[in-house]
């Protein structure tokens, strides 16, 4: 129909309108085709000198560049459109352009500018009662306030969007609003409201036959019940979601459900069922071609087989896992030592058996000589001579074998000695590497000269660690980070030193001050340093990190993170500032990622916590489960009024009490 309108267009305005309509149609289908129709619309508008049509074309071009993450180009498109629109006749189009500028500002973490642009669009849409535009603006404002940790304001705008969806009988939008509200209430730990809204979302998605949406709602309900520690209900919903995804052959969506099912069975110690679903999850990860998901499954299977007492399979899966992540140098050395000891014991036993066999043969032969001598005196001299000669040969052969055995024994012992010496050298080297790694960490004197009221709780799992902390100061700006690099031990320590140096280079040499720019620089340089490309099916050597830049005069905090959030306690309340959900280093789902930053205005006496996942992921307690972040938050809130050193002492005591033996 749209193509027909274009072919039947007889004047410039009709051609512009048809091209714009086709460009909008292809926005969600093919950006290449959408761009082609926009170019045609712009060309027709420029030739005919029709500014209104040119403005519409620039607006759609802004949408295309926004979808391609070309935010500066999109911003230029929307600004150009605003300068060309007719303010009397194109009010709604002006509102759409302001809405586009608001989305770009949000993506660039310019929250104040985003609110300003959205407000301009909101005035126009409310004036003209433009329901579709209002629904979109309310959703965008809700997402913005949710990201700013202003949950009440987010809920208010989600409800406004919900009201329009109900009024328009837009079931899809209504279900989406229920989902968003349910997830916000879950984050707020208002679980009854979360379940109420998520069940409404589920009901609507079943009503319209949206199977994928139904699976998503079931997953959200499962996650909510899991957060409530109601594992029975969580398992029920995860199982339903998994079955739906498998029915519609949605492999990507079925993976998290399947993995969650395995995790719950593992926590309940129903190991056979846990094995079934962890194995299915691993098969799904292989089908998806995702290395990170395979690593996650292999780690889970390693722990599962360990707890099942099947240490051989636990080791096998651990080897596969480390084959994807890091070299298994320490394990290889242990296997060499065991093999050498086994060979030594086996050869020693063989020596004993050969000596015994020769002794038995010798005794048997002597008996035979005596029997023959008794009956055949005439030939006794011959047989004695023959017997002595054979015995002499046997003794010579035995001596030769003993010499060979002795040489083999010496060789084995020498090789064993070499292995022991190598192990000692390796351990000594690791100990020396520990001193090197400790030396690059900020000394206590430097740390406390910058933050007098602070503490560092640092307990590496192995001699060397993949975790590190970092601090630098430039004028009024203080840069501080807590980082967790891929792997433990030697591999993790190597990556940590690379990343530590890259952070220093970004700040001290490249003079970068924005934390997102710093992480993007480290991301790029780490990929170059390790010779990674997104086409390679290789280990992703990366880093999770919380990076803060604090202006000590204004107390403005600029934060950027890779997987690791931060906690801020203000006026006795703790809030969480979330990170981007991908690591520094290489690629995620085979695409380059860009980090974002968030600005927070701190006040005097506010407390800021940066951390890796080591504390919350520690196994222990009566049931051998993870400590988890909720317990960590509770400790921080309960003891917030104590001194920093007292807080550190309480965290250390709580950690070791939980860890136990």
- pLDDT tens, residue by residue, 396-431: 767 766 776 777 677 667 777 776 777 676 666 666
Q: Say what the pLDDT of residue 396 is.
A: 75
Is residue 298 one of the residues assigned to a domain?
Answer: no
In a domain, 84, yes or no: yes
Residues 114 and 214 in one domain: yes
Burial status of residue 566 (CB atoms within 10 A of its CB: 0-12, 13-18, 19 or more): buried
Q: What pLDDT is attached to residue 586?
A: 56
The yes-or-no verdict on residue 456 having pLDDT over 90 is yes
Q: How confident is the model over 248-260, as a mean pLDDT?
A: 90
Max mean pLDDT among 341-350, 465-474, 534-543 falls in 465-474
155 occurs within a structural domain: yes
Task: State how far the alpha carbon of 634 is from the alpha carbons of 138, 192, 354, 449, 625, in Å.
Answer: 33, 21, 70, 29, 17
User: Model confidence over 260-285: pLDDT tens digits?
Assistant: 999 999 998 999 999 999 999 999 99
My answer on whether 508 and 574 are in the same domain is: yes
**CA–CA distance from 298 to each of 321, 323, 474 (Å)?**
6, 11, 43
Task: Write down the mean pLDDT value for the chain.
Answer: 83
CATH number at residue 479: 3.60.40.10
576 has a pLDDT exceeding 90 = yes
- Which of 237-246, 405-414, 650-659 is the least confident region? 405-414
Last residue of a domain, which of 195, 229, 247?
Answer: 247
pTM comes to 0.46
pLDDT for the residue 349? 47
Is the pLDDT reported for residue 339 higher than 50?
no
- Residue-level pLDDT at 532: 55
Specify the pLDDT at position 449. Answer: 87
Q: Are residues 431 and 448 part of one domain?
A: no
pLDDT tens, position by position, 482-541: 999 876 667 777 788 888 889 999 999 889 999 999 999 998 888 777 655 444 434 456
- Model confidence pLDDT, tens digit, residues 113-148: 888 998 998 899 888 888 888 888 888 888 888 888
Instruction: Tell me the sheet residues that pair with 473.
Output: 478
- Taking 70 as the threshold, does the pLDDT of residue 602 lie above it? yes
- Supply the pLDDT for residue 531: 58
* Residue 346 in this model has a pLDDT that exceeds 50: no
Q: How many distinct structural domains can be found in the chain? A: 3
**Residue 422: alpha-carbon gap to chain centroid:** 35
User: Does 587 share its domain with 488?
Assistant: yes
* Dihedral Cα 468, 528, 514, 59, nearest 10 deg: -140
> Does 477 share its domain with 431?
no
- pLDDT tens digits along 347-357: 444 444 444 44
- What would the mean pLDDT of 627-653 be, rounded to a whole number? 94
CATH of residue 84's domain is: 1.25.40.10
How many Cβ atoms sit within 10 Å of the Cβ of residue 238? Answer: 28
* Domain co-membership, 211 together with 347: no
Identify the domain boundary among 437, 452, 473.
Answer: 437
Candidate from 26-30, 81-85, 404-408 with smallest mean pLDDT: 404-408
Residues 206, 382: Cα–Cα separation, whole Å: 105
Q: pLDDT value at position 369?
A: 56
The pairs formed by 179-184 with CB atoms below 8 angstroms and a separation of 24 or more are 179/216, 179/217, 179/220, 180/139, 180/142, 181/155, 182/220, 182/224, 183/220, 184/146, 184/151, 184/154, 184/155, 184/158
pLDDT at 568 exceeding the cut of 90: yes
- In sequence order, what are the residues at sequence separation of 6 or more whose Cβ sits closer than 8 angstroms to the Cβ of residue 250? 212, 215
Which pLDDT score is estimated for 652? 93
The residue-averaged pLDDT of 142-167 equals: 87
* 232 and 132 in a common domain: yes
Predicted pLDDT at 460: 85
Residue 409, in any domain of the structure? yes
Q: Look at residues 155, 160, 250, 142 and name the one whose alpha carbon lies nearest to residue 193.
A: 155
Scanning 441-577, the segments in alpha helix (DSSP H) are 444-450, 489-504, 515-529
Q: Do 469 and 415 fall within a single domain? A: no
pLDDT at 428: 66
In a domain, 92, yes or no: yes
Do 350 and 387 lie in a common domain?
A: yes
| Rounded average pLDDT over 49-74 | 90
Domain boundary among 572, 599, 614: 614
pLDDT tens-digit profile of 360-402? 444 554 455 556 655 666 666 666 666 667 767 767 767 766 7
Q: Same domain, yes or no, for 402 and 467? A: no
- In this structure, the answer to whether residues 226 and 349 fall within a common structural domain is no
Domain membership of residue 495 (yes or no) is yes
In angstroms, the CA 282 to CA 294 distance is: 6
Question: Do 176 and 116 reside in the same domain of the chain?
Answer: yes
The answer as to whether 217 is a domain residue is yes
Residues 6+ apart with CB under 8 A from 111: 105, 144, 147, 148, 598, 599
pLDDT at 311: 84
pLDDT above 90 for 567: yes
| Inside any domain, residue 591 | yes
Print the domain residue range for 43: 2-247
């Amino acid at each position: 129909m749209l193509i027909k309108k274009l072919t039947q267009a007889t004047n410039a305005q009709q051609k512009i309108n048809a091209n714009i309509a086709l460009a909008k149609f292809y926005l969600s289908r093919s950006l290449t085709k959408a761009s082609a129709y926009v170019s045609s619309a712009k060309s027709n508008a420029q030739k005919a000198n029709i500014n209104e049509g040119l403005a519409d074309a620039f607006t759609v071009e802004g949408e295309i560049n926004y979808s391609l993450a070309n935010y500066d180009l999109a911003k230029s498109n929307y600004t150009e459109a605003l300068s060309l629109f007719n303010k009397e006749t194109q009010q709604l189009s002006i509102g759409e352009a302001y809405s586009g500028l608001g989305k770009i500002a949000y993506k660039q973490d310019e929250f104040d500018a985003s609110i300003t642009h959205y407000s301009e669009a909101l005035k126009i849409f409310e004036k003209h009662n433009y329901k579709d535009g209002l629904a979109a603006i309310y959703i965008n404002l809700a997402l913005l306030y949710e990201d700013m940790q202003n949950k009440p304001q987010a809920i208010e705008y989600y409800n406004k969007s919900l009201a329009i969806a109900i009024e328009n009988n837009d079931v899809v939008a209504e279900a989406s609003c229920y989902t968003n509200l349910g997830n916000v209430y879950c984050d707020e730990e208002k679980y009854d409201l979360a379940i109420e809204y998520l069940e409404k979302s589920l009901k609507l998605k079943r009503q319209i036959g949206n199977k994928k949406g139904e699976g998503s709602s079931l997953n959200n309900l499962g996650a909510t019940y899991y957060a409530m520690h109601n594992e029975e209900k969580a398992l029920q919903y995860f199982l339903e979601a998994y079955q739906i995804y498998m029915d519609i052959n949605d492999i990507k969506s079925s993976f998290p459900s399947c993995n969650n099912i395995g995790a719950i069975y593992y926590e309940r110690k129903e190991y056979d069922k846990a094995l079934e679903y962890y194995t299915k999850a691993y098969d799904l990860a292989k089908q998806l071609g995702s290395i990170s998901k395979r690593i996650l499954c292999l780690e889970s299977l390693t722990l599962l087989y360990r707890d099942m007492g099947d240490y051989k399979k636990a080791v096998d899966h651990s080897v596969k896992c480390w084959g994807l992540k890091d070299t298994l140098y320490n394990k290889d050395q242990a296997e060499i030592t065991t093999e050498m000891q086994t060979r030594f014991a086996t050869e020693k036993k063989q020596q004993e058996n050969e000596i015994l066999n020769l002794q038995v043969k010798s005794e048997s032969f002597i008996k035979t000589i005596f029997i023959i001598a008794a009956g055949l005196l005439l030939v006794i001299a011959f047989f004695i001579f023959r017997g002595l000669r054979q015995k002499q040969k046997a003794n010579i052969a035995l001596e030769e074998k003993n010499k060979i055995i002795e040489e083999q024994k010496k060789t084995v012992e020498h090789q064993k000695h070499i292995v022991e010496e190598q192990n000692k050298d390796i351990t000594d080297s690791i100990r020396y590497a520990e001193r090197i790694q400790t030396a690059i960490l900020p000394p206590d004197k430097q740390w406390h000269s910058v933050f007098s009221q602070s503490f560092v709780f640092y307990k590496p799992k192995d001699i060397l660690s993949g975790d590190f902390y970092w601090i630098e100061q430039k004028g009024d700006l203080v840069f501080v980070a807590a980082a967790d690099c891929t792997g433990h031990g030697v591999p993790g320590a190597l990556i940590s030193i690379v990343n530590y140096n890259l952070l220093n280079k970004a700040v001290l040499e490249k003079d970068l001050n924005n934390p997102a720019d710093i992480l993007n620089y480290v991301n790029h340089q780490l990929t170059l340093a390790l010779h990674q490309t997104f086409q390679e099916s290789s280990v992703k050597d990366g880093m999770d990190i919380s990076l803060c830049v604090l202006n000590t005069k204004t107390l403005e905090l600029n934060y950027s993170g890779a997987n690791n959030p931060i906690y801020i306690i203000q006026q006795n309340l703790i809030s969480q500032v979330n990170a981007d959900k991908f690591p520094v280093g290489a690629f995620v789902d085979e695409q380059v990622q860009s980090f974002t930053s968030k600005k927070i205005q701190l006040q005097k006496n506010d407390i800021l916590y940066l951390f890796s996942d080591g504390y919350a992921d520690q196994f222990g307690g009566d049931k051998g489960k993870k400590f988890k972040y909720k317990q960590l938050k509770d400790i921080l809130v309960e003891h917030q009024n104590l001194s920093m050193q007292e807080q550190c002492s309480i965290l250390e005591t709580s950690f070791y009490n939980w860890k136990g033996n």
